[in-house]
Amino acid sequence: MSVEIQRAVDRTPQPWKNGLGVQYEIMCDGSLPDDWTWRLSTADITQDVPFSVFPGVNREFCVADGNGVVLTINGVEHRCEPGSITKFRGDDEVHATLIDGPMKALNLMVRDGAVEKHLHVLRAGDSIGLNSQCVLVSIIEQAILDMSTGEVALDRLDAVLFFDHGIRDTSHVCQLARGTVAVMTAEGN
């Protein structure tokens, strides 16, 4: 299995579906606007805005940088702190209200019927077995990941991608030496 470090500064900005914000794709199994079954991306939220509507999609929203946001989901307000994960349906009515300044979010979208994928947050000292179904993203601060090949330093929103080349899907046990990361894992693998 090979590992690729994807730096946040190298990603290309793309407009949100509703045109009210900017996103940066980390990984996706298809292409925009709707030719995909899952998609992992970051987004800049610089003002109070409504989210785009994605019918038939499960969404997980992680506060990856900044002081968080209040998401009003179908009329219920949820205070989303840094490192929190909020789950909702893509056709829910969602409005974001910044708490204290702009923030960056990590967004996972999985279409109904696709293999389940979910986000988890790990903190310094935690360990995890990572395989080719996983993507790891540094959030909130700089992170240092202790892998079998050595230490990897990640700036905020940098990602680690894993590829198995179709030979054998082994897993790496990694330990987070410093920082906080969000990990996307696939269920049933």
Partner 1 sequence: MFTAIAGVLAGCALNDTPSGSNVVPSGSTMVEPISDTVAPEVADSTPETVPTTVPETTTTLPEVDLKCVTILKCQFSYLVGADYSLLKLEFTDFSVANLQGAKFVRTNLKQSTFIRADLSNTDFTGANLTSANFTGANVAGANFTNANFTSTVICGLDLETAIGVTQTQLNDAQMYRTKGNKYCP
Size of the site for partner 1 (CB under 8 A): 39
| DSSP category for residue 170 | -
| Stretch of residues binding partner 1 (CB under 8 A), selected from 9-17, 22-30, 36-44, 168-176 | 168-176
Sign of CA dihedral 59, 9, 30, 147: negative
Cα distance between residue 9 and residue 24, in whole Å: 10
The answer to whether 176 and 127 are in contact (CB under 8 A) is yes
**Residues 121-140, interacting with partner 1 (CB under 8 A):** 121-123, 125-129
Give dist(CA 15, CA 7) in Å, integer.
19
Q: Give CA–CA dist 144/151, Å, rounded.
A: 7
**Do 171 and 153 meet the contact criterion of CB atoms below 8 Å apart?**
no
Residue 75 or 101 with smaller CB distance to partner 1: 75
Q: 48 vs 77, which CB is nearer to partner 1?
A: 77
Instruction: Report the residue number, 9 or 76, with the smaller CB distance to partner 1.
Output: 76
Query: Any contact of residue 88 with partner 1 (CB under 8 A)?
Result: yes
Site string for partner 1, 44-83 (x = CB under 8 A): --------------x-----------x--xxxxxxx---x
167 burial level (CB within 10 Å; 0-12, 13-18, 19+): exposed
User: Considering the rule CB under 8 A, would residue 93 count as an interface residue with partner 1?
Assistant: no
Calculate Rg over the CA atoms of the chain.
16
Stretches 27-35, 40-48, 132-140, 181-189: which one binds partner 1 (CB under 8 A)? 181-189
167 belongs to the binding site for partner 1 (CB under 8 A): no
* Residue ranges binding partner 1 (CB under 8 A): 1, 58, 70, 73-79, 83, 85, 87-89, 92, 116, 118, 120-123, 125-129, 146-148, 170-173, 175, 183, 185, 187-188
